[in-house]
Structure 1
Amino acid sequence: MDIAEIAANAALVVVDVQKGFEEPDHWGARNNPGADDNIAALIDVWQGTGRPVVFVRHDSSEPGSPLRAGYAGNDFKEYVEDRRGKGAGAELLITKTVNSAFLGTPDLGAWLSAEGISQFVVAGIQTNMCVETTARMGGNLGYDVLVAYDATHTFDLEGPFGWRRSADELAQASAVSLHGGGFARVVSTQDVVAGAAGV
C-alpha cells in the first residue's frame, strides 16, 4: 500500500453521483461495481476528519437526459444525499452543465482559493468524462490533484470509425493519461483513506 499524503485542508470533490446514472438502457454497461462503496468511504473519512467536501451535480440541458433538471435522475444517489450536511468541515454544492466542475456555479476555483486549498481528491462519475475533465483542469490550474480511481466508474462507449471501448478500457486509458501526463496522481481509495485518516 502506498499511503497518499493528504493535506489537513484537502478538499474531496464528489462529481455527479446521481440517480440518472443507474439507468442502463441509456448508458449501457458500466464497470467497477464497488465505486459507490468507495465514494461513501471517502465522504465518511473527509467528514470525520473535518475536511471540506464539494458535491457536484450535473444539470443536463439535453431534453432526454437522465440527468436533466426536474427529473428524478438529477438527484444525488441516496447514500450521497444522506451524507450531505453531516461533516464538521466546509461543504459546497456546485451545479454545472458541462464536464468540468471548474465551469459550474458557484466558481470552484474561487472557493478553493478563498479557503486556502491547494490539494483536492476527485471521485465520482464518469471516470473518462467529468472526473477526468475536472482533474485535468485542476492540474492545469496548479492544484495538487489526486484521482481515487476505484471510487469512479464509467460506461462502454462508441467513438469514431466504429471504434468501441469497454468501460474498463476507457477508465484505464483515462488513468494513464492523467497520471502519465502529469495532470493528477491516480491512486486507490484505500491509500487516500489511509492518508486522510493519518494511518
Structure 2
Amino acid sequence: MKEFFQTFTLNEGLTITIAILALAISVISYFNTSNRDKRQLRIGRIEEIIEIIHVLIGNYRYFDDTFFLQEKIRKGIEIESKKIELINLEKRQVDLLQNISNEINLQEKLIRMTVIVNAYLPENKLRNKLRTLVTLYTSLAEATLNRKYDDTKVIFSVYPRPWIILPFIEEIQTELIKEMKLGYDNNIYGENPFDEEFKKKMNLL
C-alpha cells in the first residue's frame, strides 16, 4: 500500500510537472509568435513606405518641370511674344500632371505614408526626414496642380531639382532598409555590377 501511494504521488508529480512545462512552452510560443507577427507587420509597413517613395520620386520630375515652367511665367523671364505660348504649354503640363496624380493616387499615397511613418517608426531623425519629404511633395503638388504658389512659398519658395533631391531619397531608403533589421543595408539605387556583363552577353556594347 505504501509503495502504491509513493508511485501514485510520483506519477501525479510527473503529470503536474509536464503540464506546467507544456503551459510554459505554450506561453513562450505565444509571445514568440506575437513578437514575430509584430515584426513581420512592421517590416511590411516599412516596405510599403519604400514602395510609395519609389512611386513619388519616379514622378517627381513632372512636378519639377511644371513648377520650373510656372516660375518662368511668374518671373516673366521670356519675352512678351512667347508668354502666350508658355501659358498654353503650362496648361498642358498641369493637365498631364493631374492625370499622373490621379493615376498614382497621389493624395492617398501621401496620407498613407504619413500614417505609417507616425505609427511604425520611432521619433527619430529618419521619421522627421520622411515627414519633411511628405511636406515637400504636398507643397509642390499644391503649388503646381492647384497653382497655390503664394500659399505654399512660406514653406518652400523653391524646390530641389530631381538630380539634387535623389541623394536625399537614397539616404532615406537606405536608412529604411537598415530599420528593417534584416542584415542588409545596401543602397537600392546603387550601381548593378551585372549590367556590364548583361550588355556583353546580349551584344549591346
Q: Same fold (TM over 0.5)?
A: no
* Larger RCO (alpha carbons 8 Å, 6+ apart): 1
Over alpha carbons, which structure has the higher Rg?
A: 2
The TM-score range, normalised by the shorter chain, is under 0.3
What TM-score do you get using the length of structure 2 for normalisation? 0.26
- Decide which structure has greater strand share: 1
- Decide which structure has greater helix share: 2
